[in-house]
Structures are given as structure tokens and as C-alpha cells.
Amino acid sequence: MDEKYTFALRKIALLGGMNDYIAVSSRELGEALDMSQQSASKRILELLDKKYIVRDLGARKQRIKLTSEGIDQLKGEYNEYRRIFELSDHIVLHGTIKSGLGEGGYYICQNNYMDQFQDVLGFKPYEGTLNVHVDKEDVGKLDLIKGLTGHTIDGFHKDGRSFGNVTAYKAKIRNVDCAIVVPDRTHHKDVIEIVCQYHLRRTLSINDGDRVDVRVEI
């Protein structure tokens, strides 16, 4: 019975309730949900109870807004649709080459990681990673990718510092085999780290600011 909640949340989101509080009477919500004012009022109370929305109950009209939990509910359903409609056998990330080795570069270049890359990817990465700044409109695809199985690279301890698990996803840039590497304990970022057998900048003659398409295998 989770379905009726996401249905309501979706309609609220379409009314603009994702970013801001919106003034929606129970009568109006009932119209959007094709149900009575009374039922819509009840639905709002249920959504409040489940912490999917928050409400500012003014004198004339209530104002409601999705919580991050509510947004997550929608995202889950959205990702199901993406699995249905978008996934052929690859996902294409559009982005721009970014400068710097970055923290991730140092992180990833540990020998322990490198040996494991050799095993799962079939090549020993060239030292250093290529950073790609993923276009805003493609950042959501990273969620999808993290939902894939990928290749798990075990973490380890060294010199008192802990290096966590990393997941590698096989990919291609301009038909050159490479892999996206993502530390498991990472939250939303718009920069991805790419490892490759070759020095990608030199091999493909790409530089900071150049646009690239990263084709991730599924």
C-alpha cells in the first residue's frame, strides 16, 4: 500500500512541492488525485504521519512541502522507470574534463587498490585518475550507476589510515576501455574519477574543459 502515497507525493511534486512550500487546499489536492476533499485531507495526514511531507497550517490555506524522505520515495520509483526505459546496455554520462589529481586520485593510486583493479578490470591502471565533471542534467544517472553491481574493490588499512571499499564500473571513453571508480562511502558529487590502462589525456588528446562522453557498461 505504499503506492497510494507515492501517487500523492508525485502529484504534489508536480504542483511544485519539491523545492518550496506550496499552498494547496485539500480540495485542490483532491482534484489532482481524483478523490474527494475528505480523502485528500486524510491522505495529507497520512503523509505527515509518515514524514513524507511537512505542513505549515495557516489560517486560510495550508502550505505543504515534500521532505527529503518524501523525495527519496519518488526517486525510488523514478529509478525504476529509468531501469525500464533508459537502460539498454549502457549509460552515457556527458561531462567536462576537470583539472587536478584531486583527493580521489591519491586515494585510488594506492598499490593495494591497483592490484585489485588488475584482477577485476583486466588491466593495471596508469597512475592517476581522470576527473570528469558530470553535467548537471546527468548527475542523477550516478544514482542509477551506484545501483548496479559493478566490481567491488576491498578496502584496507595502511600507515594508520583507512582506505574504504571502492566500486569500479567498466566504461569507455571514445571507445577506449576504462573504469569509473567510486568510493562506497561517497555521497552525491558531480565529479567522477576514471582509471585507464593508458594516460587518457595524452592518448585521446583531451584537456581541461574538453567535453567527453563516458559510456558506462551495465
Partner DNA sequence: ATTACTAGTAGACGAGTAA
Partner DNA sequence: TTTACTCGTCTACTAGTAA
Applying CB under 7 A, the residues found at the interface with DNA are: 1, 4, 24-27, 30, 35-39, 41-45, 57, 60-62
Smallest gap from Cβ 37 to a second copy, in A, equals 18
- Per CB under 8 A, does 84 bind a second copy? yes
- Measured from the CB atom, is 59 or 84 closer to a second copy? 84
Report the C-alpha gap between 194 and 108 in whole angstroms. 10
Quick one: DSSP state of residue 160? T
What DSSP assignment string belongs to 78-120? HHHHHHHHT-SSEEEEEEEEE-S-HHHHHHHT-HHHHHHHHHH
Three-state DSSP class for 176? strand
Report the C-alpha gap between 171 and 192 in whole angstroms. 12
Question: Applying CB under 8 A, which of residues 10, 63, 98, 189 lies at the interface with a second copy?
Answer: 10
Given a second copy, DNA, none, residue 129, with its beta carbon under 5 to 8 Å by kind, binds none
Given a second copy, DNA, none, residue 10, with its beta carbon under 5 to 8 Å by kind, binds a second copy
- Per CB under 8 A, does 83 bind a second copy? yes
- Per CB under 8 A, does 92 bind a second copy? yes
What DSSP assignment string belongs to 104-115? HHHHHT-HHHHH
Helices (H) and strands (E) in the chain, counts: 8, 12
Question: Applying CB under 8 A, which of residues 88, 111, 149, 162 lies at the interface with a second copy?
Answer: 88
- Per CB under 8 A, does 188 bind a second copy? no
Helix axes 37-49, 3-12, angle to 10 degrees: 100
Smallest gap from Cβ 17 to DNA, in A, equals 13
- Per CB under 8 A, does 89 bind a second copy? no
Report the C-alpha gap between 52 and 68 in whole angstroms. 7
Instruction: Name the site residues for a second copy (rule: CB under 8 A).
Output: 3-4, 7, 10, 13-14, 18, 74-75, 77-78, 80-81, 83-86, 88, 91-92, 94, 135-137, 140, 211, 213
